[in-house]
A and B are shown apart, each in its own frame.
Chain A
Amino acid sequence: MVNMALKSEHTPQRYFRQMKAVTALAPKYRAMSDDQLKAQTAHFRQQLAAGQSLNTLKIPAFAVAREADRRVLGLFPFDVQVIGALVMQDGNVAEMKTGEGKTLTATLPMYLNGLTGSGNFLVTANEYLAYRDAKKMGKVYRWLGLTAVAGVPPTGGDPHDRDLQRIYKADIVYTTNSTLGFDYLMDNLAGTTQDRFLQGFHFALLDEIDAVLLDSAQMPLIISGAPRVRSNLFGIADQVIRLLKLDVDFERSSDHKKVWFTPAGITHMSEYLGLTGLLTEKHRTLYQHLVLALKAHQTLTRDRDYVVDDDGISLLDLSNGRKLAGMKLEAGLHQALEAKEQVPVSTQTRTMASITFQNLFRMFSHLSGMTGTAMTDAAELQETYRLSVIPVPTNKPSQRIDRPDQLFMTTDTKLEHAVALVKQAHDKGRPVLIETGSVSLSNLFSRILLRDEIPHNLLNARSAAKEALIVKEAGQLGAVTVATSMAGRGTDISLGPGVKELGGLLVVGTERMNSARVDNQLRGRSGRQGAPGETIFLVSIEDSILLEHGPKWLRKYRRQLAKNEAPAHPSWITRHRFKHLITQAQHNAEREDRQSRNQTLQYAEIMRVQRDTIYATRQTIMTQPDLTPLLTSVFKMATNAFLRDHPEPTRNVLADYVLNTIDNQLVIADVIDQQWTPQSQQTAKFLRRLMVDQLQKKFKNINEDQQVYFERMCLLKSLDNAWIDQVDMLQQLRQIATNRSTAQHDPLLEYLKDGRRSFANMKRAFAHQAVQNLLLSEFNFKADGTIDVTYP
């Protein structure tokens, strides 16, 4: 729409001035004793209590934290790190080159915001980093008198063992985006105020902000529970699909992401299965399973999109090569995949609660971030989160040499060349990091190296447990490390003795990723903190990025090449036509990602409003001392819902409703006259009176505290159940709406309308269930005065 100048190429001057002010205070705090320095925290907190703003405390607090860093860690933040901290405190994204010590930089704003009490988070995309930094940097905050903890369990630990109350009471929490998101959702499933643990969201500093907000933004976080009806068709469908042939029974789109049956395929399948009318409503479920099986076979590749191990099937995050813990493909695709890989088929579950990262982080009043590679996406960060990206100058100029890409005709020649490069460097003893596009490619490369007798480490989603160890060795003399894109983030490879003289770490990429940002992250593994280093990418026209996003003519070109069976090109291609291929393909891919993120955002907004309403209502139910007005309202809603379905109920229908929702032991003849004539007005009044009477009858033997507690539980339980259905519904409505764009309907508007309609349905379901819970629950009085409640 409106293009603004979003990129500022230089750091604004005011940050230099502020940095000088911080530096000027250094001698003052250097002269203080440890105790005097520690006392500053209490001093700052007093000032805050007296109404001072964080902004006025910024300069001295940064100076104090800086001095504490020096005394506790032995690291005194450089001037550029102070600039980075100042940039972030202003609610911006600081772009700092990798290896400039972002972890240390973060201590300054985290300390300042930690002074305000709980609700301050340092968020990374990686549990291992969160735990490590909480341990290492936490020392500084604790030394200064703040509480700082890790929000994640130690590697291999059980997330359920965490003491949530203690964690979220802390001033500063180091955590990951998904941990925080899941905890937020769980917090809002709590039954009583005592069970809630979140203390509000005040400040979030996002490490690798582009990974958190952009790379993982397309998929919402989902808590699933409540199993669906189990299906036994996955196995049959899988067997049928194995019999089908490409281009006869089904066709694929050129990017291999979409696949569909041809009419011939449908005929064949009908024959195999011995039925007619596969596309009719009768065989809907079967056809659904066939579609799922086809997708599982044709669009998902083992060791690229997922890995199979003892735990069954784990999805891989394409942008960082890690396992997506706990994530499953939706709508039965995961089960179809399990059938394909012949592992036990798990049960399908329903979505119970869901939130996108965008919505999660928009709840923070103060958001900022740091990253090595955000400039390429500055515009999107500005539009979506109102965050400006500001570059921070480097402490030492980079000595890294980035060689231009080398393009090959075939994957074979490319890999041969890569092996030659590795050999060459390895003979000299120079450490090499080889990045491959998928788990299977990394295995392949590892085998090639074994054949050539080059010792090496293999880092991929399967060996993630040894990650820290492998990374530690990667910078040593003679080390060769084969990795997936997993190596790209947060792995600080420090060089061993003698490596600098050989030219530092050599990074060889064997494939360009879908985003230039991910490539740059990999480059950033080399040449850290002014050390020498070298990077090169080897690509071929058979790479998946070009298959999926390359131009049409390239497809034809490849086909011709295959037909001619020309001898493989001896060396790389430098022809002009091929020069911008990769960049262009990356642009295409990034555009698609961006559009899909934007869509996610717009649709999520509609769900957010509903979720906020529900969570606010839960809060009211939990805190309100007298719930009578709410109960009156619920009775009214339930009655209206009944009358909506039965505007003029007959005596039988009415009796049925009374027995099933209000009192199952009532003698109908006592309350409903034989000559009863249906009249809405009176029916409503009659039903409501019946409900109020029944509730009073129930509460006869119960004290007031127990009454309120029971009412509260009934309302919450019903609301949660209704909301779970609604979340599931919204998830699906979104899909339905997108196809309505035909009749000049705006899909977003359609989604909004459908969403509102189902919200109204949800309210009726809630009211009905709440009345049932309140009136039909059975009490079992125990000797110690407590009561066991059995819900209907």
Chain B
Amino acid sequence: MHRYREFLTSLGWTVLILAVFVTGQTIPLPNLDVSTAQDAISHVTFLRLFANVTGSDFSNQTLFSVGMGPFMSAMIIWQAVQAVGDEAISHLSPHQVSLGKYGITLVLAIAQSFQVVYLVRGSLDTFYFPGTQINIVFISTIIILVAGAMFVAWLANLNAAIGIGSSVALIIPGIVRGIPGNLINGFGDTEDVPLKITATTLTAAIIIGAIFLVLSVITNAAELRLPIERPMLDQEHSDSYLPIKVLTSAGMPFMFSSSLFMLPRYFVNQTVGPTTPLQHAIVTWFSYRTPQGILVYALVLILLNYAFGYINLQPSRQAKTLRESDDYLIGVPAGDATEAVIMHHFNLLTFISNFLILLVGVGPLIVGLWYPAAVNYSLYLGSVLILAGMVGGVADQIKGLINKNRYQIFD
């Protein structure tokens, strides 16, 4: 018991936090006709897809419908700001940093809540400001959703501080829950062919998924290690290196690729179909079922892979840190030259990882041109890749916590 105490304490907190989170996701929004609201939102595919991977849940209108979405986006935006921002960011106090993160979260939460409430406006009941005849249901519903999102952001931070799996622990359940849906309904738009669930298709899906999960965990761990010299250390232990992951972007491109790709289709009426030439073009170039669309999707993936990779690695910051700690890549002067070397390796690795990303994201789509149901594997495997990225970190943390106090001299 004693040796696992820290692990069990952290685990207990995470269970508690997840319980609160999941409970909140089952409490329906007040003053709302849930069944018509669901219909209204199910037409907006990109929103549903985005919700799936960022811990929001738009299929049910609950207190935490907006949920983790704004917080996740805020984290990524913050990282991007850090990647391009100069010293100014690093001089902020922890208090200011957390104010900044929560500030972005709040803005995004208001925007997303507005979006959701706007979409379901037809299903809203009336709710009068106590003692008056003023209907405030629109505002009050937004406030509830924003409050929910901020509360979830706080939960995520709490879990990062004392639980297991940092803040992403709160997204993992949503992704896992979304996987069967991804497999069966795919992108869930009108062109979609649901995968028929039979014993064969299910077994095939599970086997492919399991094999892919193992492969992704391995790929996620793969990294290039550039040897560093550290003059301030002694020669005896100079086995230090600068690691660059092969999958620098982890699964992040898949978190945003489909929703980004589906966004333009929002401007085409789903029931009537395309009417203007522009709408026709959109339908052709932003479809999973046309060669043109597949090409665009591939470009979106590559772009995101590169962007997230850069944000995660931050080569200029790396070079600066190395220079300020007197370390250097062997044979390379500190500063610009070092940054160029890091950039060079990053480009090479991203070039390689693009193939993997395309294989997962676009491969099923190409097969889908002939066997339509294969398209669903694009989302399915994408989710598995996201999951693999998160699980690796969590596993490391658990191992650390369990082993931390386990030492003995005599075996």
Q: A: which residues have CB within 8 A of B?
A: 1, 228, 253, 258, 260-263, 266, 277, 279-281, 284-285, 287-288, 291-292, 295, 331, 333, 587-588, 591, 595, 606, 609-610, 613-614, 617, 630, 633-634, 636-637, 640, 719, 729, 732-733, 735-736, 738-740, 742-746, 749, 752-753, 756, 759, 763, 766
Contacts and interface: CB of A to CB of B under 8 A. Distances in A.
B265 interface: no
Bin the interface of chain B by size: 35 or more
Q: 3 tightest A-B contacts by CB?
A: A743-B243, A288-B231, A633-B410
A281 B334 contact: no
B207 to A, nearest CB: 30
Given A285-B235, A736-B240, A759 B397 contact: no
Contact of B245 (A260, A732, A735, A743): A743
B314 to A, nearest CB: 8
A729 B237 contact: yes
B404 interface: yes
Interface string B147-184: 00000000001100100000000000000000000000
Tell me the interface secondary structure of chain A in the complex. helix
B36 interface: no
Given A637-B410, A756-B403, 11 more contacts: A260-B326, A279-B328, A287-B231, A288-B231, A331-B233, A333-B232, A614-B409, A630-B410, A743-B244, A752-B400, A763-B409
A749 B232 contact: no
B321 A739 contact: yes
Contact of A744 (B94, B234, B250): B250
A715 B207 CA distance: 54
A719 B409 contact: yes
A749 B229 contact: no
Nearest to B393: A744
Contacts of B289: none
B231 A634 contact: no
A633 B411 contact: yes
Nearest to A636: B411
Contact of B233 (A258, A613, A736): A736
Contacts of B331: 277, 279-280
Nearest to B161: A1
Nearest to A725: B236
Interface in B232-281: 232-235, 237-240, 242-245, 248, 250
Contacts of B396: 746, 749
Contacts of A292: 231-232
Interface string B320-363: 01111111101111110100000000000000000000000000
A331 B232 contact: yes
Contact of A766 (B323, B407, B409): B409
Given A614-B409, A742-B243, A263 B91 contact: no
Interface string B221-235: 001000011111111
Nearest to B221: A743
A749 B411 contact: no
Q: Which of B243, B404, B410 has the most CB of A within 10 A?
A: B410
Contacts of B307: none
Contact of A736 (B158, B237, B332, B335): B237
A735 B243 contact: no
A606 B410 contact: no
Nearest to B91: A588
Interface string B185-227: 0000000000000000000000000000000000000010000
A279 B231 contact: no
B242 A739 contact: yes
Nearest to A264: B333
A261 B334 contact: yes
Contacts of B404: 606, 609, 752
Nearest to A748: B400
B115 interface: no
Q: Which of A735, A743, A746 has the most CB of B within 10 A?
A: A743
A281 B330 contact: yes
A759 B411 contact: no
B407 A609 contact: yes
A697 B337 CA distance: 65
B358 to A, nearest CB: 22
A741 to B, nearest CB: 9
B82 interface: no
A759 B404 CA distance: 12
Q: Which of B318, B326, B331 has the most CB of A within 10 A?
A: B326
B324 A253 contact: yes
Contacts of B323: 260
Contacts of A1: 157-158, 161
A738 B230 CA distance: 12
Contact of B335 (A263, A588, A617, A756): A263
A609 B323 CA distance: 33
Contacts of B119: none
25 contacts: A1-B158, A260-B335, A263-B335, A263-B337, A279-B331, A280-B331, A281-B330, A284-B229, A284-B238, A285-B235, A287-B231, A331-B234, A609-B404, A630-B410, A633-B410, A640-B411, A719-B409, A729-B237, A735-B232, A736-B239, A742-B313, A743-B243, A746-B397, A752-B403, A752-B404
